[in-house]
A and B are shown apart, each in its own frame.
Chain A
Amino acid sequence: MLELKTAIVKYGAATALWDISLTIRAGELVCVVGPNGAGKTTLINVIAGLHRIASGGFLLNGDDVSRLPSHRFCGKGIAIVPEGRRLFASMTVRENLVLGSYCADAKRQRRETLERVCAMFPVLVEKLEDPAGALSGGQQQMVAIARALMAQPRLLLLDEPSLGLAPTIVLDMFRIIRDINAEGVAVLLVEQNVAMALDIARRAYVLEEGRIVAEGAPGELTSQPHIRRAYLGM
Chain B
Amino acid sequence: MFVGALYGLLGLGLTLSWGILRQINLAYFALTFLAAYLCYQLSTARGIDPLATLLLIAPGFFVIGVALQWVFARFRVSPFNSLLVTFGLTVIVESVIQSIWTADFRRLESAYGVAKFRLGVLYVPAPELITLALSIALSLALYAALRYTDLGKAMRAAAEDGPMASAFGVNRRFIALALSGVCATLSAVAGVCLALSYTLAPAQIYAWIGVVFAAVLLGGIGRPLGPLIAGIVIGVSEALTMALTAPSWAPLVSFSLLILLLLVRPDKA
> What is the bound-complex CA distance between A216 and B163, given in angstroms?
32
Residue A89 CB within 8 A of the other chain: yes
> What is the bound-complex CA distance between A95 and B168, given in angstroms?
13
Q: Which of A50, A102, A147 is close to B150, meaning CB atoms less than 8 Å apart? A: A102
Give every chain A residue within 8 A of B150 (Cβ-Cβ). Answer: 98, 102, 107
Q: Which of A50, A98, A104 is close to B167, meaning CB atoms less than 8 Å apart? A: A50
**Nearest CB in chain B: distance from A98 CB, A:** 6
**Nearest CB in chain A: distance from B209 CB, A:** 28
* Contact across chains for B157 and A74 when beta carbons are under 8 A apart: no
* Contact across chains for A73 and B170 when beta carbons are under 8 A apart: no
* Contact across chains for A71 and B166 when beta carbons are under 8 A apart: yes
Give every chain A residue within 8 A of B167 (Cβ-Cβ). Answer: 48-50, 70-71, 73-74, 79-80, 82
Interface size of B by Cβ–Cβ distance < 8 Å?
17
In the complex, which residue of chain A has the Cβ closest to the Cβ of B175? A71
Give every chain A residue within 8 A of B160 (Cβ-Cβ). Answer: 88-91
Residue A103 CB within 8 A of the other chain: yes
* Contact across chains for A88 and B161 when beta carbons are under 8 A apart: yes
| Known contacts A98-B150, A107-B150: A86-B161 contact under CB 8 Å | yes
> What is the bound-complex CA distance between A74 and B168, given in angstroms?
6
Instruction: For the complex of A and B, list the 9 residue pairs with the smallest distance between their C-beta atoms, beginning with the closest.
Output: A70-B166, A74-B169, A103-B169, A102-B169, A71-B171, A88-B157, A71-B166, A88-B160, A86-B164
Q: Give 8 CB contacts A-B under 8 Å.
A: A48-B167, A71-B171, A74-B167, A86-B164, A90-B156, A103-B169, A107-B150, A151-B169
**Nearest CB in chain B: distance from A143 CB, A:** 13
> What is the bound-complex CA distance between A48 and B170, given in angstroms?
13
Residue A100 CB within 8 A of the other chain: yes
Residue B154 CB within 8 A of the other chain: yes
> What is the bound-complex CA distance between A100 and B160, given in angstroms?
15
Q: B161-199 CB contact bits vs A (8 Å, 1 = yes)?
A: 101111111111000000000000000000000000000
Residue A75 CB within 8 A of the other chain: yes
Give every chain B residue within 8 A of A98 (Cβ-Cβ). Answer: 150, 153
Q: Which of B163, B165, B171, B172 is close to A99, meaning CB atoms less than 8 Å apart? A: B165
**Nearest CB in chain B: distance from A182 CB, A:** 24
> What is the bound-complex CA distance between A49 and B165, given in angstroms?
12
* Contact across chains for A95 and B153 when beta carbons are under 8 A apart: yes
> What is the bound-complex CA distance between A88 and B168, given in angstroms?
12
Give every chain A residue within 8 A of B169 (Cβ-Cβ). Answer: 71-72, 74-75, 102-104, 151
**Nearest CB in chain A: distance from B161 CB, A:** 5
Give every chain B residue within 8 A of A95 (Cβ-Cβ). Answer: 153, 156-157
Interface residues of chain B: helix, strand, loop or mixed (majority): helix
In the complex, which residue of chain A has the Cβ closest to the Cβ of B160? A88
**Nearest CB in chain A: distance from B60 CB, A:** 29
**Nearest CB in chain A: distance from B101 CB, A:** 44
Chain B CB count within 10 A is highest, among A50, A79, A88, A95, for A88
* Contact across chains for A71 and B170 when beta carbons are under 8 A apart: yes
Q: Which of A69, A89, A91, A99 is close to B168, meaning CB atoms less than 8 Å apart? A: A99
**Nearest CB in chain B: distance from A41 CB, A:** 12
* Contact across chains for B164 and A103 when beta carbons are under 8 A apart: no
> What is the bound-complex CA distance between A208 and B141, given in angstroms?
53
Chain B CB count within 10 A is highest, among A70, A100, A151, for A70
> What is the bound-complex CA distance between A70 and B170, given in angstroms?
9
> What is the bound-complex CA distance between A79 and B161, given in angstroms?
16
* Contact across chains for B157 and A91 when beta carbons are under 8 A apart: yes
> What is the bound-complex CA distance between A186 and B168, given in angstroms?
18
> What is the bound-complex CA distance between A147 and B168, given in angstroms?
9
Q: Which of B136-155 contact A (CB under 8 A)?
A: 150, 153-154
* Contact across chains for B163 and A103 when beta carbons are under 8 A apart: no
Q: Which of B154, B166, B171 is close to A50, meaning CB atoms less than 8 Å apart? A: B166
Q: A203-228 CB contact bits vs B (8 Å, 1 = yes)?
A: 00000000000000000000000000
In the complex, which residue of chain A has the Cβ closest to the Cβ of B154? A102
* Contact across chains for A103 and B157 when beta carbons are under 8 A apart: no
Additional A-B contact list (5), CB under 8 Å, known A70-B163, A151-B168 = A50-B166, A69-B171, A74-B168, A88-B157, A102-B168
In the complex, which residue of chain A has the Cβ closest to the Cβ of B162? A70
Give every chain B residue within 8 A of A79 (Cβ-Cβ). Answer: 167-168
In the complex, which residue of chain B has the Cβ closest to the Cβ of A94? B153
> What is the bound-complex CA distance between A103 and B154, given in angstroms?
11
Give every chain A residue within 8 A of B156 (Cβ-Cβ). Answer: 88, 90-91, 95
Give every chain A residue within 8 A of B164 (Cβ-Cβ). Answer: 82, 86, 88
**Nearest CB in chain A: distance from B225 CB, A:** 16
In the complex, which residue of chain A has the Cβ closest to the Cβ of B222? A90
